[in-house]
C-alpha cells in the first residue's frame, strides 16, 4: 500500500486531488486505517464490508470480529473541501444505537476500486464536526 502524507494540511490537499468514487463499484471488504487523531485498529483487522441490496449500497464495520456500525453509501459533496464530490458513508440507520447514527464518512478514490481516502465527521444537533482522516484498502 502507498504511504499517505502525515500532516492534516497535506492530507486535505491529497483528499482534494483524489477523484470521486463510483459507488456502484463498492463491493467486498476494505481494510480501514485511521490516519489521524485516532489510533489505527488496522492490526486488529478493522474493516468495512460493503454490499448491494435492493438497488442500494449498504455495509457494516467489523472490529475484533464483532459487527458494528451499519451504513448506507450514497453520492454527495464535502462542503468543507471545495464541495468536491464524494461517496458518503452514512450511519444514520435504525440498526445503529443513537451515538453511532451521527457518524458520516466522506470518501474519495486514490486508486480505482483499490484505495480510498476519507474524512470522518460526527453530526449532532445539525452541527458537523470534522474528526480526522482514514484510508480504505480493498482486501483481495
Q: What number of other Cβ atoms are within 10 A of residue 88's Cβ?
A: 19
Query: How far apart are alpha carbons 102 and 97 in whole angstroms?
Result: 10
For the cut 80, the answer to whether the pLDDT of residue 2 exceeds it is no
Map residue 140 onto helix, strand or coil. coil
Taken in order 123, 5, 29, 88, is the CA torsion positive or negative?
positive
| Coil/strand/helix, residue 95 | coil
CATH number of 8-138: 2.40.128
What does pTM read for this prediction?
Answer: 0.91
Question: What does the pLDDT average to over 53-79?
Answer: 94
What pLDDT does 64 receive?
A: 86
Dihedral pair phi/psi, residue 48, rounded to 5°: -110, 135
Range in 13-17, 44-48, 103-107, 109-113 the model is least confident about = 44-48
pLDDT value at residue 73: 98
Q: What is the pLDDT of residue 43?
A: 62
Q: How far apart, in whole angstroms, are the C-alpha atoms of residue 129 and residue 42? A: 23
- The percentage of residues in the chain with a pLDDT greater than 90, rounded to a whole number, is 73
Query: Percentage of the chain with pLDDT > 70?
Result: 92
Q: How far apart are CA 129 and CA 34, in angstroms?
A: 17
Amino acid at each position: 500500500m502507498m504511504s499517505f502524507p502525515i500532516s492534516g494540511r497535506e492530507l486535505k490537499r491529497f483528499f482534494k486531488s483524489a477523484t470521486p468514487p463510483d459507488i456502484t463499484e463498492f463491493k467486498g471488504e476494505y481494510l480501514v486505517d485511521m490516519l489521524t487523531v485516532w489510533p489505527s485498529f488496522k492490526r486488529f483487522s478493522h474493516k468495512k464490508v460493503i454490499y448491494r441490496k435492493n438497488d442500494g449500497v449498504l455495509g457494516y464495520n467489523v472490529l475484533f470480529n464483532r459487527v458494528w456500525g451499519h451504513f448506507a453509501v450514497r453520492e454527495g459533496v464535502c462542503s468543507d473541501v471545495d464541495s468536491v464530490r464524494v461517496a458518503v458513508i452514512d450511519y444514520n440507520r435504525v440498526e445503529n444505537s443513537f451515538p453511532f447514527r451521527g457518524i458520516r464518512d466522506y470518501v474519495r478514490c486514490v486508486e480505482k476500486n483499490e484505495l480510498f481516502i476519507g474524512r470522518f465527521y460526527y453530526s449532532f444537533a445539525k452541527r458537523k464536526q470534522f474528526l480526522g482522516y482514514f484510508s480504505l484498502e480493498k482486501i483481495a
